[in-house]
Structure 1
Amino acid sequence: MTSWQLWKPAPAGDPLATMLTAFARQDRLTVFSAELAPVVASDDARLFGMLKSRQVAVIPARVDYAIDLSAIGRDRLGWDAAAHRLDVRLPPLQLSRPNLDEGRAQYLREGTWITGSAQEQLTRENTRLAETQAAQAAANPALMTLARSAAKDALRQNLTIPLQVAGYADATVTVRFDGESAER
């Protein structure tokens, strides 16, 4: 046994209070981001269908996945003093509204003569479609699995440090989402 083990300071304070303090300071934690590139198309007809135009667009989009830390109260934390283990149950992930990068968008327009108002209408419709498509793509199971895994890793890392500072150097943190079984 080393002298550090004999003389190390005893853990101080309530580990759950330490975690809640850490959460109160952050409020929201972005844990994952997905870059998507929806491909959308819109059609427009003017002058009784005589002027037809079509616009295909690839509009890059970013969606962030976050945890609302303010929703994590004592009821979502469990401290096993004997095992020095903190169990955390997370609320569902929150997905941001897709952030479309229209500056990097690529457009292909078809039509003999495309009026300015038709072009504006096509662009508005493609923007709406791209946002809808990006939101749907962001919620697909593969991306949600990656985001949940990233959330667990991020919370595990963010909670281990305050525990160590509070004197629980050997503490472990287990993280799960509502509806998942506890990992041991």
Structure 2
Amino acid sequence: MNRSLFRILVLVLLGVALFLGWRAWRDWQRGYDPETVVAASLQGLQEQNVLVPFTARYVAVVTSTQSRLGLEAKKTLIMPGTVRYELDLAKLKQSDLDWDAATNSLGITLPPLRLAGPEIDLDSISEYRDGVILLTLTDAEKTLDAANRKAAQEELIKQAKGATPMRLARTAARNAVEQSFAMPLKAAGIDANVTARFAE
């Protein structure tokens, strides 16, 4: 085999290798299509089912009073409880995702947060009572206890729905979901701007 023919053969083989390499690179790039990565991230989140981005502990202080037979009884209940702020990821659908190829940005519309609890810390409950005679002679104590427990639960939820904790919980939820989509995109070599928001 003369040198000219050998060089031609080498060039042909090199050309074939370059072509096959380019095609493999193109196919690899296609495998990391942004919308494919986003869809896989969504499936991963849905499989988690519930995200708890924020928890908070509150203390309710309530007092109930009852008067009978010219006597008065009063009980004060101090009841701590923990509330979880949950995001139902199963409600997050493909239609809630908006990929903009022109700006490489992903918009996510989140389902509303829901409150779970309160989980009462039974060991930390305190009670104060006044009006021993009425409490001893009647069922006033039972009535006051029931009223206090109901009022304390309502107070804990009221505190949990306050503007500041809801803002903190929403921010934590948005950050967690944004990271859940941004990290896989970044790992795939896609520099994307991910923004999550609540519909409300």
Compute the TM-score of the two structures, normalised by the length of structure 1: 0.80
Aligned to 2:96: 76
CA distance in 2, matches of 1:67, 1:151: 7
1:171 positional shift: 2.8
Report the AA paired with residue 66 of structure 1. Answer: E
Structure 1 stretches (4+) deviating beyond 4 angstroms?
none
CA distance in 2, matches of 1:31, 1:176: 14
CA distance in 2, matches of 1:172, 1:18: 17
Aligned to 2:167: 145
CA distance in 1, matches of 2:180, 2:69: 60
**Percent identical across equivalent pairs?**
31
Larger Rg: 2
Stretches of structure 1 lacking an aligned partner (at least 5 in a row) = 1-6, 180-184
Question: Residues 16 and 169 of structure 1: is their aligned pair in 2 closer, same or farther, counting only changes over 3 Å?
Answer: closer
CA distance in 1, matches of 2:192, 2:125: 48
1:42 positional shift: 1.1
1:117 positional shift: 4.2
Aligned to 2:199: 178
CA distance in 2, matches of 1:76, 1:96: 24
1:29 to 51, 70, 83: 51
Aligned to 1:15: 37
Question: Residues 16 and 159 of structure 1: is their aligned pair in 2 closer, same or farther, counting only changes over 3 Å?
Answer: closer
1:123 positional shift: 2.0
> Which deviates the most, 51-60 or 126-135?
51-60
Per-residue CA distance 1:51-74 (angstroms, 9 max, x = gap):
532111110011111111111101
Contact conserved, 1:51 with 1:112, CA < 8 A, in 2?
Answer: no
Superposition map of 1:118-137 within 5 A: 118-137=140-159
1:88 positional shift: 0.7
Q: What RMSD, in angstroms, separates the aligned Cα atoms of the two structures?
A: 2.2
Compute the TM-score of the two structures, normalised by the length of structure 2: 0.74
Per-residue CA distance 1:97-116 (angstroms, 9 max, x = gap):
32222321111111133238
1:159 positional shift: 2.3
Contact conserved, 1:22 with 1:162, CA < 8 A, in 2?
Answer: no
CA distance in 1, matches of 2:189, 2:143: 60
1:141 positional shift: 1.5
Superposition map of 1:92-107 within 5 A: 92-107=112-127
1:81 positional shift: 3.0
CA distance in 1, matches of 2:38, 2:182: 12
How many pairs were matched up?
A: 169
CA distance in 2, matches of 1:30, 1:70: 13
Whether 2:172 is the aligned partner of 1:157: answer no
Stretches of structure 2 lacking an aligned partner (at least 5 in a row) = 1-24
Superposition map of 1:33-52 within 5 A: 33-45=55-67, 48-52=68-72
